[in-house]
Structure 1
Amino acid sequence: MTTATLTRDRSLLGLKELGRDEIESILDRAAHWEHHATKIDPVLQGKFVANMFFENSTRTRFSFEVAEKRLGAEVLNFSAAVSSVQKGESIYDTVRTLESMGIDAGVIRLKPIGVLAELAAKINVPLINAGDGNNEHPTQALLDLYTMRKQFGELRGLTVSIVGDILHSRVARSNLYALRKFGANVQFCAPASMAAPELDAPLVTMEEALRADVIMMLRVQLERHEAGMMSTPEAYREQYGLTVDRASRIAPHAIIMHPAPINRNVEIDDELVEHGQSRIFPQMQNGVPIRMAVIERALT
């Protein structure tokens, strides 16, 4: 097996092409790390990981950094806002420069679609997708699956409603690709202007969406919308927000999820963020062991 093939196999660019067994092994390894008694276990001592974020992030970036440090890796944090990218340097040249300096893996978030796959074909260290455009966000979907599996025991047969800005959502795409591999039923609920008809999943009404086992609300990505694509946050909440009244009609066993950041009182009412059926903050907590498993997979 060539070095390029090994590097590609240890990268995590998306879940669309990743097999069910491989996904399950990541979830199982995350369970190991979640219950690991020692907070820092230096299995990756002497390894250098660069977090390369060409798009703003809080939860994902810090979750990766905590995961890397818990594994004993040396962490380099790159921010495009204070880098030579602002002087016109290409993303490829930036990543290639860090590779030349001796990093062992890179965690990368990008706005443009397609660039990550091109980089992975040229760079000889494993790359982990921390979100690329509206294409995929594999580690977010992995922590979502992990959260659902912890709640329900298995994923097969679950009905998962993903509600909101499907058009711009890499989270919706990665969840759709992964959940389908496990026999879950995925359905979307969105305004016509935010739907993604190219994705093979039924589009249901808000009332139908509330009957699911998992109701996953998505952030309305105002920064990605063109003028006129939506009216007002108040109008969105009235039609597609998870209000206290709507939440009162979900099944007692159902859970509420959200990848965050949250527009409180737009896609979900403030009172529901830490509701008894909400798993929003446990999702964030589960992100660390999931990313530990992904980083360990890349570097061992």
Structure 2
Amino acid sequence: VVNITTSSSSVVKGECLRDTILTVQSMCCDAIVMRHPIEGAAVYAADVAKPVIINAGDGAHAHPSQGFLDMFTLREKGLKDLKGKKMVILGDILYSRVARTNIVAWNKMGADIHVAGPRPLMPYAVESLGVTYHKRIEEAIEGADVIDVLRIQLERQKSGLFPSPREYARIFGLNEARLKLAKPDCVVLHPGPMNRGLEISWDVGYCDQAAIRDEVQNGVAVRMALLFLTLTGGKQIEAAN
């Protein structure tokens, strides 16, 4: 495994993405796991490179492996069929690749998806993504089967997208009282790291309904499986059967 970060690569010297990909390819690698700040970078890399390209996040567009591990975690929790289930995503939809990935996946599974958060943290025409937008978190959470709490990206808040962290926690934070509005067996997800006391309270982060540690553990297995399937095409599995 060769780990290459932007700060220690030739990117800081002006190297373009195409040349970076071709340089890595010249190391005779079998796969490139790639995280990039620009949307569509992974698709571009796949057109340029011969090795397998695995998208580990491209800007605010997509985070496929997080979507897979969230689906696997929900399956472990007994939610094998998401059709008609009320799935709620709270927080920063605008900048979240996790939100977009789960919205696509859950829509394909026939789920009923609801989102809530400050309007400035919602994409333009958010309803066109196949979700129902709520101004009040309580309306979104009521009767929920799953609540996916997104990290508030404090590094972006210099833009003044909401008044203050305290104000956000008071109006949109998931706390124990609000969680009681959901179904008793509602599963709470969070892609991590958590800003405790901001988007999620301390008690909810540690409650029995929280599957956050399960997500971390399942992330290892799911990404191992992803590498295996993309590198072998599942041929060894077919041979075993």
**Normalised TM-score (structure 1):** 0.72
**1:194 CA displacement:** 0.6
Identity %: 39
For residue 291 of structure 1, give the secondary structure of its aligned residue in structure 2. helix
- The letter of the residue matching 1:164 is G
**Distance apart, 1:116 and its partner CA:** 2.0
The SS at the match of 2:169 is helix
Look up the match of 2:195: 263
Q: CA deviation at 1:250?
A: 2.6
Q: What SS class does the counterpart of residue 160 from structure 1 fall into?
A: strand
> Is 1:176 matched up with 2:103?
yes
Cα separation, 2, equivalents of 1:287 and 1:132: 18
Partner of 2:225: 293
**Structure 2: 5+ residue stretches without partners:** 233-241
Q: Report the CA distance between 1:192 and its aligned residue.
A: 0.7
RMSD value, Cα: 1.4
CA distance in 2, matches of 1:183, 1:278: 23
Deviation at 1:80, TM superposition (A): 1.5
- Which residue of 2 is the match for residue 118 of structure 1? 44
Q: Is contact 1:148–1:155 with CA below 8 Å preserved after alignment?
A: no
Q: What is the rounded CA distance, in whole Å, between the counterparts of 1:102 and 1:233 in structure 2?
A: 47
Conserved in 2, the CA contact under 8 Å of 1:167 and 1:195?
Answer: yes
The superposition leaves residues 171-211 of structure 1 with CA deviations (integer Å, 9 ceiling, x where unpaired) of: 11110111111111111112110112242311023112222
Which amino acid is 1:265 matched to? G
Matches within 5 A, 1:72-87: 75-87=1-13
Matched, 1:153 2:80: yes
Matched residue, 1:165: 92
5+ residue gaps, structure 1, are: 1-74
User: How far is the alpha carbon of 1:226 from its aligned partner?
Assistant: 5.1
The alpha-carbon deviation at position 124 of structure 1 amounts to 1.1
Amino acid at match of 2:137: M
Q: State the distance in 2 between where 1:108 and 1:226 align.
A: 28
The equivalent of 2:31 in structure 1 is 105
Question: Take 2:130 and 2:208, find their aligned partners in 1: how far apart are those partners?
Answer: 32
Q: Does 1:189 align with 2:121?
A: no
- Between the aligned partners of 1:296 and 1:223, the Cα distance in structure 2 is 35
Match of 2:139 in 1: 208
Separation in structure 2 between the aligned mates of residue 266 and residue 92 of structure 1, nearest angstrom: 40
Q: Which residue does the alignment assign to 2:207? A: 275
Cα deviation 1:242-300 (Å, max 9, x = unaligned): 02221233321111110111111100011221211100110111111111121112101
Count of residue correspondences = 226
1:96 aligns with 2:26: no
